Copies of this chain bind each other. A is one copy, B any other.
Amino acid sequence: MNRLAISPTRLPQTMARLAYFQGWPMDVLVRLSAGAKVLSLEKNDWLGRKGDPLQSLYVVMDGLIRCFIPLPNNTERVVSLVDTGHSFGEASLMLQAPSPYHAVAGRDTRLLAVDAMVFRREIGQNLNLCRQTLERVAVTCMDNLRDTEISAQRSSAQRVASYLMQHQPSPDSQAFPISLPGRKQDVAAKLGLTQETFSRVLHALDKQGVIQITGSRINVADGRKLAEMTAKRQFSSQGTALAN
């Protein structure tokens, strides 16, 4: 259940502390807070269903929201894993379009819900906020495209390699740590793989010494090798390239 949390009249101050609202005028925050509330969700609580009209903009204060599209196989395709400090819903909100995905708490989560109508009104009255929101939606757009690129890779190993390399902090760092944003099965679902296939590829890479796995923490040891895999012609989890 998403219970309404205690949230007194200092909601504007709370909002002002969020990175999302940095630089927003206080009078705007006050008006926004009129239609805002802090929600507390327990792990696996539903926040919204695909097709429902979106009533709020959501900013995750603490926790994780899993946005996903249900598939015929009784499986799901994860669209995004939204964690602390990030937001979602801007696009559908601006278009007053039904939600394109389900949203469920990946773990206990606190989030700010700003009423869609109120938010739209403020956006329509302040050029700066409008431009900032435009940029946020544009970023979402680019993220989607990168996800598309990754899951368009034909082989599972290439998908995983692309995903890992996406976390490369700088183009020349050959070794770096990654912490998976959620359960392995969710990351797998984001790459368009089953958890089994994801696990197999990961462990094949580990056996090769290209990465090391420690729970949900992965250390990339040989970025060059991973980069090669995304470029070369064929690398599968079973084929000669990764086996041995």
Contacts and interface: CB of A to CB of B under 8 A. Distances in A.
Given A72-B154, A141-B140, A94 B134 contact: yes
Say whether chain A's binding surface is mostly helix, strand, loop, or mixed.
helix
Contacts of A123: 131, 134
A72 B134 contact: no
A142 B72 contact: no
Which one of A69, A71, A72 has the greatest number of beta carbons of chain B within 10 Å? Answer: A72
Contacts of A151: 148, 151-152
A138 B91 contact: yes
B153 A72 contact: yes
A24 to B, nearest CB: 16
A139 to B, nearest CB: 7
Interface in A78-115: 79, 90-92, 94-95, 97, 100-101
A97 B135 CA distance: 11
Question: How many identical subunits does the complex contain?
Answer: 2
Interface residues of A, number: 49
Interface string A2-39: 00000000000000000000000000000000000000
A59 to B, nearest CB: 18
Contact of A79 (B74, B97, B148, B233): B148
Contact of A154 (B73, B97, B154): B73
A138 B95 contact: yes
Contacts of A142: 91-92, 95, 97, 100
A146 interface: yes
Contact of A95 (B95, B139, B153): B139
Contacts of A148: 69, 77, 79, 144, 147-148, 151
